[in-house]
Amino acid sequence: GQSLEQPSEVTAVEGAIVQINCTYQTSGFYGLSWYQQHDGGAPTFLSYNALDGLEETGRFSSFLSRSDSYGYLLLQELQMKDSASYFCAVNSGNTPLVFGKGTRLSVIA
Amino acid sequence: NAGVTQTPKFQVLKTGQSMTLQCAQDMNHEYMSWYRQDPGMGLRLIHYSVGAGITDQGEVPNGYNVSRSTTEDFPLRLLSAAPSQTSVYFCASSPRETQYFGPGTRLLVL
């Protein structure tokens, strides 16, 4: 089977940095994705890591360690609009993504 | 280029009724999927398709049926609605790693 673990809630201050961790157990692994979902909206793609290391896209970065079955999403210079749920997801080959249960990020002033 | 479209946006059903949730994409993606999202449960895969004429079950397929007669369309059928099927349903299409989600259908079964 496949399982992903991520914290259910995180709170951080506007302007700060926050890290959302994700650990996974899968029978096959091609890469780890991150999605953002605002309340009432659909999930939208943020980043994808197939190889070990850090991928940076503006204020967001994502890291993967395949040997540790671990990744994280790093959000810098937090803004109020970053308040949302963040999902990690595993690509294990010919089946669709398997998603974690999501981390609800609250950014406070 | 509309991306992934879903209809209806909202629906209320009575227990035992049947209905079809429509999903269409205009990006020529081979992969399409249906997920349901419940509070605290994340996104759970119902059914998916890797191409026209090919479908397979996901994590929670019971009570749902799908077909994929064309690349563009992937309807989800509720055979006999139950209150446990009250949820938000998302359709997604994918070229490979990245999933593109539709806006969702909010379904209430009374």
Indicate yes or no: CB of A43 within 8 angstroms of CB of B48: no
| Chain A nearest CA to B25, separation (Å) | 15
Q: pLDDT tens, A23-78?
A: 999 888 899 999 999 999 999 999 999 999 999 989 999 999 999 999 999 999 99
pLDDT tens track, chain B, 110 positions: 779 999 999 999 999 999 999 999 999 999 999 999 998 788 999 999 999 999 999 989 999 999 999 999 999 999 999 999 999 999 999 987 789 999 999 999 99
- Distance (Å, whole) CA A79 – CA B31: 34
The answer, for A31 touching chain B at a CB cutoff of 8 Å, is yes
- Which pLDDT score, from 0 to 100, does residue B2 have? 79
Contacts of A48 in chain B (CB under 8 A): 97-98
Give the A:B interface size as CB pairs under 8 Å. 54
How far apart, in whole angstroms, are the C-alpha atoms of residue B50 and residue B33? 9
